[in-house]
Amino acid sequence: MSERPVKYHWIITLQKPAGVGVINTVTRSGTVDATAGTTRSAVYDQIRKFVDQEVPELKGGNVMFWSLERDALWGGR
């Protein structure tokens, strides 16, 4: 019997210089399903690739904020 995935909520803020005196900043959030054995690093890489595709002008930007927590409150799935 395989274990059910657990839903996690993520938030990431990226920042990257875009010229003299100009800094682009973007914050994105969403959810991701992870199964037992999935690492935080793998989830981060997956989300970073997603955001880099969604906002290509910030690809390679600095991470100013990153959060990954269970989406369910009160011990739910």
Each residue of 42-69: pLDDT tens digit? Answer: 999 999 999 999 999 999 999 999 999 9
How far apart, in Å, are the Cα atoms of 3 and each of 12, 24, 46, 55, 73? 27, 40, 21, 33, 20
Average pLDDT, the chain: 93
pLDDT bin (cut points 50, 70, 90) of residue 2 is low
Give 27-56 as a DSSP string: EEEEEEEE-TT--HHHHHHHHHHHHHHHSG
Q: Which residue's structure tokens are 């989406």?
A: 71
Q: What gap in Å lies between CA 29 and CA 22, rounded to an integer?
A: 24
Q: What's the predicted TM-score (pTM) here?
A: 0.86
